[in-house]
Structure 1
Amino acid sequence: MATAREARLATVEYRADQVFDRIGRFLAQHRLSPDPLHYAFAYRVISQPAGVLAQSVAALTEGGIRLTARDIEKLGGQVATGATPDIPDATDAVEGLVAQTQMHVEGFTDMMHAIRTETQDFGRDLAASANAMRASDSAGDIVRLTGVMLDRVQSAETRLAAATHEAEELRLKLEEARSNARCDPLTDLPNRRAFEESFAKHMQAGDAVCLAVCDVDRFKRVNDRFGHSVGDRVLKAIAEALTTACPGHMVARYGGEEFTVLFVGTTLDDAYATLERARDVVADKRYRLRESDEPLGAVTFSAGITEAKPGEFLGSVFGRADKLLYTAKDNGRNQIRRL
């Protein structure tokens, strides 16, 4: 029979294995390499599930969103060199287009060298033919030389036109890739990356900024009862309502059923009043299923809104708004809290 000490040791080993497995799943979920820096950060999250860090990570990753390198650094962790990029799919696409652009630039260079060589050859031929014509006074040489000149000019024009067309197509693809890397494909709203970049730009410019974090109330019930396709339509409706009610301000889908609004050049009171109107519009609307006309009922959202202090980082402002959001949730939902 095992002694009490052996039983305790077995329990400790079992818990250690559990922690190790959960850390491994955490690293895989967020595409982090098994580097000691990443492991230390994951251990802090996993070993203290009720701690502030774990709660912050849960709030940032709700809805299946992966942590970015900036998230980890803002939360006090360190990112290993060679970590997976924040948005790998978009980054890979842009990198592919950059490589393609470099190929075209090199092609342009080679083509211009070829045209220059042909021009030099043509110049030598022209000089030689001119000397020959002076000696022989032959009109046939003029005709031949003119034909050669026209052929070379037309060939160069054809190659330049084709290269210009390819370059224009590539430019359009690059613009589309840049846009897609900052756009949410479901709602067509700016995504998390675009929102963070805009926040940083306005803070650097010294603009007055208020940040709101909005979350659809009991959204999981909608998905569980009616399916994800209906849930997607609800998210699109919320996105449209927020955009319509907050003209001139940036509405973004931050992840899952969470939206953010960046109010620039306005007071906290005005931003709060604008968001309250949006909340009323959403709460007053009654949704029905498109397929059966069955009533979906009311859909509401809760929000937290706060004013950014000069020089404040996004993590601090977002964290404050996020806590206000959860206060609104805890106090009955369908309301906005501000600070």
Structure 2
Amino acid sequence: MAGVSTQRVADTVDASTQLFCRVGEFLRDNHLSPDPLHYAFAYRVLTDTQGPLARAVAHLTDGGVSLSRRDIENLGGEIGALAAPTPTEAMALAKSDGLVAQTLLQVEGFADMMQAMRTDTAGFSRDLAASANEIRRSHETVAVDEVVRITTRMLDRVNVAETRLEAATHEAAELRTKLEEARANARRDPLTDLPNRRAVEEAYAARSKAGDHVCLAVCDIDHFKTVNDRFGHSIGDRVLKAIGEALRQGCEGHMVARYGGEEFAILFVGVTREAALATLENAREAVAAKRYRLRESDEPLGAVTFSAGLTIAKPEEVFGTVFARADRLLYTAKDAGRNLSKAG
């Protein structure tokens, strides 16, 4: 009996571990942050694989489509307030934070240096005043010698302080350059070299605050999971870079960002929805017309397409609201057959 109980415990632990891994894969495949709300939704899907929720999810993700925020909400799930940064973004932010800490330490060092110089100057003034009084009283050569000694000592201290100040100024210039570079890296996608999610959200906030006319497009590569499954993630990365570059060229003058996974966001500023849609359609048609081949074997990869949703931002709308609306239009295009753009 003891052996049977031990086996049951082992089976339970093994099943729990497998479920945990499957939940992690589900979150990764759908680009969801590992917060409790998303975990609970994944748990509901994976513990009842024949239930209505699991069937609905299977239908929505057919062909490698990732779940959108709106999909999860429509299926009764909840959305976390903020998406967790990607590992690359987290590393860039950590580097930036480290440089900020160095800068703060240097500022404190400047403060200490200036305080020391003020103390030395005050001491020099007191000593010089005392020596001047002594000269007036005695007219002795020894008092003059004392003034010379004090002055020489003070000049030495000033020279040392100037050397330290010059070195600290040079260090500050280097830190400023590194800090600017780190801040830029924290807002850039390392694979495509496009702005990332943080950058486009900040740009939208700035444009919205300025009262600019803004349109937002959300683009998603069609059947991207199939590319990864057939050819591997390295080929998938090349496809992402190629599509990112095609969007950048096709939408020149507008901000093209990799929002996450196979999703891109385009910020159109100062143009009508019709003009933005025309630009987006030209880019989509140019991408669909290309035929890709594998560099190593010259094997045809075939056509790669994307679907898109485009919407106008209303005054004072937050980014999440505008993105959700564009995202719904994107999945309307997916449902209509893919390789389409929908505007609303």
Shorter chain as denominator, the TM-score bin is 0.7 to 0.9
> What fraction of aligned residue pairs are identical, expressed as a percent?
59
- Residue 258 of structure 1 is matched in structure 2 by 263
- Residue 231 of structure 1 is matched in structure 2 by 236
Equivalent residue of 2:67, what SS? helix
Alignment of structure 1 residues 267-282 onto 2, 5 Å: 267-282=272-287
Give the alignment's Cα RMSD to 1 decimal.
3.8
Match for 1:30 among 33, 36, 60?
Answer: 33
- Residue 105 of structure 2 is matched in structure 1 by 103
- Which shows bigger deviation, 199-208 or 23-32? 23-32
1:198 lines up with 2:200 in the alignment: no
Deviation at 1:169, TM superposition (A): 2.3
Alignment of structure 1 residues 102-141 onto 2, 5 Å: 102-130=104-132, 135-137=139-141
- Residue 68 of structure 2 is matched in structure 1 by 59
Match for 1:336 among 333, 341, 344?
Answer: 341
The change in CA–CA distance for 1:241 and 1:21 in structure 2 (over 3 A counts) is closer
Equivalent residue of 1:329, what SS? helix
Deviation at 1:219, TM superposition (A): 2.0
- Residue 94 of structure 1 is matched in structure 2 by 96
Query: Retained in 2: the 8 A contact 1:22–1:46?
Result: no
Look up the equivalent residue of 2:33 and give its one-letter code: H
Q: Structure 1 unaligned runs (5+)? A: 1-16, 33-37
Q: Distance in 2 between matches of 1:151 and 1:120?
A: 15
Deviation at 1:262, TM superposition (A): 1.1
Q: Distance in 1 between matches of 2:27 and 2:234?
A: 30
Q: Distance in 1 between matches of 2:70 and 2:148?
A: 75
Query: Retained in 1: the 8 A contact 2:308–2:341?
Result: yes
Q: Distance in 2 between matches of 1:43 and 1:182?
A: 30
| Deviation readout 1:162-189 (Å, 9 max, x if unpaired) | 2222222222232222222211111111
Deviation at 1:146, TM superposition (A): 4.9
The change in CA–CA distance for 1:217 and 1:243 in structure 2 (over 3 A counts) is same
Q: Distance in 2 between matches of 1:298 and 1:284?
A: 7
The change in CA–CA distance for 1:163 and 1:31 in structure 2 (over 3 A counts) is farther
| Number of equivalent positions | 303
Deviation at 1:44, TM superposition (A): 5.9
- Residue 168 of structure 2 is matched in structure 1 by 163
Alignment of structure 1 residues 3-42 onto 2, 5 Å: 30-32=33-35, 38=36
- Residue 327 of structure 2 is matched in structure 1 by 322
Query: Retained in 2: the 8 A contact 1:302–1:336?
Result: yes
Query: Retained in 2: the 8 A contact 1:304–1:328?
Result: yes
1:283 lines up with 2:288 in the alignment: yes
The change in CA–CA distance for 1:312 and 1:188 in structure 2 (over 3 A counts) is same
Query: Retained in 1: the 8 A contact 2:23–2:43?
Result: no
- Residue 214 of structure 2 is matched in structure 1 by 209
- Residue 189 of structure 2 is matched in structure 1 by 184
- Which shows bigger deviation, 225-234 or 261-270? 225-234
Query: Retained in 1: the 8 A contact 2:309–2:328?
Result: yes
| Deviation readout 1:239-293 (Å, 9 max, x if unpaired) | 1111112122111101111101111111111111001111122222233333344
